[in-house]
Amino acid sequence: MDAIRTRALVKRYERGRVAALDGLELRVPEGSVFGFLGPNGAGKTTAIKILTGLVEATSGEAWVAGESAAGSSTQLRSQIGYLSQDPRFYSWMTGRELLVFAAELFGTGRASARRRADEVLEMSGLAGAGGRRIGGYSGGMVQRLGIAQAIVSNPRILFLDEPCASLDPLGRRDVLEFIARLRGNTTVLMSTHILEDVERVCDTVGIIDRGRMVATAETGELGRRFAPPVLELEFASTEAATAFAAAWPADAKGSVEVDGLRIKLRAVDLPGARDAALQAIAARGLALVRLEIRSASLEDVFVRLVGRTS
C-alpha cells in the first residue's frame, strides 16, 4: 500500500508562468524510507509543502495516509511530522517549551506532552539544552530541534526537507541512523541533494527534475536500470591518461570521460572494452595503476538522468 501518492500534480507560480511541479507522479510505499532526490529548484520543497497541506496544488491530486492533501484537513496533519528546509522556531521559547507546545497542538495532554518532550530531547541529543532559549541555539541544534518537533507526535508519515543541512558530520551520522531506525514503523520521505545520505538510509529513491519524476526505483536497482557499469582506469600520470583517451577509437567501443589521472569508459560490451583497453595500454607502454569495472553510483545515475551535476 502507498503511504503517499500523487497523480499529475501541478503547481504554477507567477500567474501560471513558472511551473514548480509539472505533472508529478509519486508513490511512496508504506513503511519505507524514500529519498526524494533532485537538483536545486527541481520542485522537491514545493511537492512536500503540497503533501503537508501548507500549499494548494494548481491541479492534480495528492494523498497522504489515505487522506486527500487538498484542503489541508486537520485529520491529515494529525498523522504527519514535518521538518522544513530552513526550520524557524520561537526564539523566546526554550527547546522543551517548544516541544511541549508542539505536542499539545496534536491534542496531547500537558503531563504526557512534557514526558514526550523529554524523550525526544534525549533522542535528538538536546537533553542538556532543553531549558535554554532557542534564540541561543546553534544552527545544528536548531536542526536537531526541528527533527525532535517533527517526531514529537509519533507521526505515521514523516516529511524531512533536507534533514542533514547545517549538521556537522557526527550530527549527520546520528540523524541518518535515527531515520534508518524508523524504517518499517514510519514512512519517511526525505528530500536531499546529498547522494551519499540517500545511499546510506533510503530503500527507495525518486529523482525529480523540473517538476517531473524522472526515475523511481529501489536504491540498489536504480543503477542497474538507469546507468550501466563503468570501466574505471587510473594512470600514473595525466599524460598517460590523455594519451590513452586520444588513442581510444570513438566508435562502438564506448564513450570516454577524462578526469585528471582517471578515465571512465562506458560501453555496451564492458568485458570487450576492458580487453581492448588493456591491449591499447600495453601497445603504448602506458603506466596503469588501477583498472576496475564498477557498478554505477547514485551520482552516475543522477548526472545521467538530470543531465547536469547538482
Partner 1 sequence: MRHRPFPVLLRKELREQARSYRLLVLGLVFVFFGLASPLLAKFTPEIVKSVGTDQGVTIVLPEPTAADAVAQYVKNVSQIVLLVLVFLTMGSVVAEKERGTAAFVLVKPASRTAFLAAKLATLWITATAALVLSAFCAYAYTAVLFQPPSAPAFVLATLALLLHVLTFVTTTFFWSAVARSQVVAGVLSFLTWILLASLSGLGAISEFLPGRLLTAAVSAAAGTPLPWEPLAGSAAIVVLAVAGAVLTFRSWEP
End-to-end Cα spacing for the chain: 32
Quote the least distance from Cβ 84 to partner 1, whole Å.
6
Q: Which residues of 25-40 are buried (b: 16+ CB within 10 A; e: fewer)?
A: ebebeebbbbbbbbbe
Expressed in percent and rounded to 5, the helix, strand and coil fractions of the chain are 40, 30, 35
Helices (DSSP H) in 162-218: which residue ranges?
Answer: 169-182, 195-201
Say if residue 296 is exposed, middle or buried (CB neighbours under 10 Å; 0-12, 13-18, 19+): buried
- Residue 92 or 249: which CB sits closer to partner 1? 92
- Rounded distance between C-alpha atoms, residue 144 and residue 175, angstroms: 8
- Residue placing its CB nearer to partner 1 in the complex, 142 or 273: 142
Closer residue to partner 1 in complex, CB, 92/272: 92
Q: Closer to partner 1 at the Cβ: 78 or 154?
A: 78
Least distance between partner 1 and beta carbon 32 (Å): 21
Q: At what angle do helices 139-151 and 169-182 cross, to 10 degrees?
A: 10
Cα 15 from Cα 301, distance rounded (Å): 34
State the minimum distance, in angstroms, from the CB of residue 214 to partner 1.
26
Q: How far is the CB of 112 from partner 1 (least distance, A)?
A: 12
**Nearer to partner 1 among residue 72 and residue 310 (C-beta):** 72
Q: Helices marked H in 216-286 — which ranges?
A: 219-226, 238-247, 270-284
**What are the angstrom distances between the C-alpha of 184 and each of 31, 83, 161, 202, 286?**
4, 20, 20, 12, 52
Indicate the residue type of 182. L
Task: Count CA atoms within 13 Å of residue 134 on its CB side.
Answer: 19
Order of all β-strands in the sheet with 18-29: 18-29, 2-13, 59-64, 67-68
The nearer residue to partner 1, 56 or 275, going by C-beta atoms, is 56
Quote the least distance from Cβ 46 to partner 1, whole Å: 10
Question: 113 or 298, CB closer to partner 1?
Answer: 113
Write down the least CB distance from residue 250 to partner 1, Å: 51
- C-beta closer to partner 1: residue 63 or 101: 101
Binding interface with partner 1 (CB under 8 A): 49, 52-56, 74-75, 77-78, 80, 82, 84, 86-90, 92, 101-102, 104-107, 149
Q: How many whole angstroms separate alpha carbon 257 and alpha carbon 248?
A: 11
We find the least distance from the C-beta atom of residue 191 to partner 1, in angstroms, to be 15
CB of 134 to partner 1, least distance (A): 10
